[in-house]
């Protein structure tokens, strides 16, 4: 949306006339069309790029056309211009908008990692696909402009009317300065006879239904007995609420596009170069678009603040979530190249690939390390008289570990300000072997203290079931299990952990994930009554131990894959004990923040790139015909790891929406 400094070419009169003529033709076609309605609220779109009815009234399109004519007559220009560099943070300002955006992270990453967006970001999107996207987006912009107009009519706040008016004018700027000018730069014109596909129709139907007060919140998502717009409310209050709901349905699109532009720009370390869609990215990555997104979010906060009841809060969440789902569906309906490598496990390129997905557990899957969780279980199960003694014992064990670990790293590693420019695997191995000895000694002290004695197996599992998991982790592991079954032995999943108890890990997993996962870790030793005697069956205590187990996993996986398929190892971890496995993997993915890992990586020349950066590089090479198998479409790079922000990003990369 809005204007790009390098795209200052105004829409020629013949192009404006073509748009008006096109609207008139579409209105005639719509009169004989029926609306496209999906049977389920949250069902993923199955839309193809084929034409479907627009679903919104011809009169509505007439109003939008007249609005566009008036905007063009007045120049349709706001006060904003765009900078080509990404200068703004993606932080969301208002409390309401922040909460709504945070609940939509899964959809946001599914959009970012969608084959259409990835191909566009990599510059490999077929020109025909981009032209189709522009043609479909014109219908959306028309609905967007009309929804703004209806919100202007419904609000009685002068300041809100001013903001809405600016945002409505910017819709025309987006059409003129971004979409039409982009087509012109490729020597293309708006097609004469393209109808909206099903996803576009669903989206425009939704926006206008909300703006007109005709929407119905689905059963199960309602905040009360009504949809938030019925009942004994005065007409003026109803209209004000309707304006707030309308902005709640429009705002996620702006925030999503700001997010997409900024993330693509961040991932393009060397610049967009010859990417033919660079101006599209620069527009949505700009500080001005970020400012406009914030303005929309602040307006949402202002309009929604009088309506803070449970019904209104639930309705607002459902509208925002629905808009995000429809945006992902909109991208999914665009035709893309079959050469795309995302989502990785489900892509056509991976049809003959055997995937081995291995994940660490503590602080990779969980928010908190399992050791203090188990310690709290010991304290809660012990006699009250023993609790002070147990607390002191645990505190002493923890203090000694922290002090000695810090001293050891200080002795083994160079100062943080002296990073290595060369990858040094041999030096890393030497350090990790010394750390392995340290970890074994620390675990021996825990066993020797008898601190874990008396803890029942059931209590350990219950502790696992209560541990906080990283958002998106548990759903993804469940999806991996279901996907593994549907892929007919093309995917296996392992948890490889230094956690003291397998029973603890089992308590965290869903039944599907537990049945599918292969868990490799230690276990408390239980007697015949399933009570711990304080000992640990210590099998995996360090990075060196993990690497040995991983090699066994890979050896078996090669046999499972058979000679006709390539295997691809994906390892997910967060700490120093994961380093050797991360580096051994074809795709080593770091999640979370670990200062020890960061320092170790810097000391031995390990590069950590955003996963999206690596993906764009692979996508570019893949679409240039490089490689026909998993080893070549994602070749292993020595000393290079990839970072993700959360499990929702990992989900989008591996499995998509």
Query: Which of the residues are catalytic?
Result: 253, 327
Structure tokens belonging to residue 163: 């903001």
Residues 322 and 41: beta-carbon distance below 8 Å = yes
Q: Look-up: residue for tokens 């050891």? A: 408
- Rounded CA separation 277/259 (Å): 17
The answer to whether 120 and 130 have CB atoms below 8 angstroms apart is: yes
Q: Do 575 and 594 contact (CB within 8 A), yes or no?
A: yes
Residue 4 near residue 283, CB atoms below 8 Å: yes
Give the Cα separation of 581 and 443 in Å (integer). 21
In contact, 457 and 507? CB cutoff 8 Å: no
SS3 523: strand
Cβ 107 vs Cβ 328: under 8 Å = yes
What does the alpha-carbon distance between residue 80 and residue 10 come to, in Å, rounded to a whole number?
15
> CB neighbours of 110 closer than 8 A, spacing ≥ 6?
328, 651, 652, 656, 657
What DSSP string describes 99-139? Answer: HHHHTTHHHHHHHHTSHHHHHHHHT-S-HHHHHHHHHHHHH
Contacts of 169 (CB under 8 A, 6+ apart): 71, 76, 77, 78
Beta bridge pairs of residue 627: none
Give the residue among 215, 294, 200 at the shortest CA–CA distance from 249: 215
331: helix, strand or coil? helix
Q: Is 232 exposed, middle or buried (0-12, 13-18, 19+ CB in 10 A)?
A: exposed
> In this structure, are residues 524 and 381 in contact, taking their beta carbons and an 8 Å threshold?
no
Parallel, antiparallel or unpaired: strands 353-359 and 491-496 = parallel
């Amino acid at each position: 949306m809005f204007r790009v400094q390098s795209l200052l070419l105004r829409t020629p009169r013949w192009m404006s006339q073509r748009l008006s003529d096109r609207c008139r033709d579409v209105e005639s076609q719509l009169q004989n069309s029926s609306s496209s309605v999906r049977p389920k609220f949250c069902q993923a779109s199955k839309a193809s790029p084929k034409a479907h009815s627009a679903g919104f009234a011809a009169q509505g399109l007439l109003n939008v056309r007249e609005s566009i004519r008036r905007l063009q007559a007045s120049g349709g220009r706001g006060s904003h211009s765009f900078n080509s560099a990404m200068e703004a943070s993606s932080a969301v300002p208002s409390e309401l908008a922040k909460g709504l955006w945070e609940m939509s992270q899964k959809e946001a990453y599914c959009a970012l990692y969608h084959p259409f967006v990835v191909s566009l970001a990599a510059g490999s999107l077929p020109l025909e696909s981009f032209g189709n996207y522009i043609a479909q987006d014109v219908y959306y912009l028309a609905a967007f402009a009309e929804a703004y107009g209806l919100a202007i009519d419904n609000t009685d706040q002068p300041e809100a009317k001013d903001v809405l008016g600016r945002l409505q004018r910017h819709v025309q700027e987006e059409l003129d300065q971004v979409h039409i000018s982009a087509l012109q730069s490729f020597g293309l014109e708006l097609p004469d006879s393209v109808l909206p596909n099903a996803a576009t129709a669903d989206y425009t139907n939704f926006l206008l239904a909300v703006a007109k007060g005709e929407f119905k919140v689905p059963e199960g998502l309602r905040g009360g007995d009504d949809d938030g717009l019925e009942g004994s409310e005065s007409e003026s209050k109803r209209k004000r609420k309707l304006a707030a709901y309308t902005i709640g349905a429009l705002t996620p699109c702006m925030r999503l596009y700001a997010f997409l532009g900024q993330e693509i720009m961040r991932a393009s370390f060397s610049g967009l170069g010859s990417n033919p869609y660079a101006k599209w990215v620069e527009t949505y990555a700009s500080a001005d678009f970020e400012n406009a997104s914030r303005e929309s979010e602040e307006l949402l906060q202002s309009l929604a603040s009088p309506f803070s009841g449970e019904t209104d809060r639930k309705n607002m969440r459902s509208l925002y979530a629905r808009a995000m789902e429809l945006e992902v569906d909109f991208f999914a309906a665009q035709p893309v190249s079959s050469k795309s490598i995302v989502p990785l496990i489900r892509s056509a390129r991976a049809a003959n690939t055997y995937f081995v997905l291995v994940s660490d557990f503590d602080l990779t899957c969980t928010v908190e390390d399992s050791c203090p969780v188990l310690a709290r279980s010991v304290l809660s199960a012990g006699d009250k008289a023993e609790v002070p003694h147990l607390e002191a014992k645990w505190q002493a064990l923890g203090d000694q570990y922290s002090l000695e670990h810090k001293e050891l790293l200080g002795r083994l590693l160079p100062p943080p300000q002296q990073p290595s420019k060369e990858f040094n695997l041999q030096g890393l191995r030497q350090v990790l072997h010394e750390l392995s000895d340290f970890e074994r000694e620390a675990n021996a002290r825990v066993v020797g203290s008898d601190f874990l004695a008396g803890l029942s197996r059931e209590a350990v599992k219950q502790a696992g079931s209560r541990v906080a998991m990283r958002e998106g982790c548990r759903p993804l592991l469940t999806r991996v299990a279901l996907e593994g079954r549907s892929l007919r032995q093309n995917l296996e999943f392992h948890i490889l952990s230094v956690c003291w108890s397998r029973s603890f890990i089992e308590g965290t997993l869903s039944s599907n994930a537990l049945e599918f996962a292969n868990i490799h870790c230690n276990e408390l030793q239980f007697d015949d009554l399933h009570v711990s005697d304080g000992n640990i069956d210590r099998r995996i205590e360090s990075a060196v131990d993990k690497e040995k187990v991983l090699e066994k996993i890979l050896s078996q996986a090669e046999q499972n894959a058979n000679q006709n398929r390539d295997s691809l190892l994906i390892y997910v971890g967060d700490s120093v004990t994961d380093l050797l496995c991360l580096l051994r993997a074809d795709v080593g993915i770091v999640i979370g923040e670990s200062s020890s890992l960061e320092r170790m990586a810097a000391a031995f020349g390990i590069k950590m790139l955003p996963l999206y950066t690596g993906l764009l590089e692979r996508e570019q090479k893949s679409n240039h015909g490089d490689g026909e198998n998993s080893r070549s479409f994602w070749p292993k790079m020595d000393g290079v790891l990839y970072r993700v922000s959360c499990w929702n990003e990992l989900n989008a990369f591996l499995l998509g929406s």
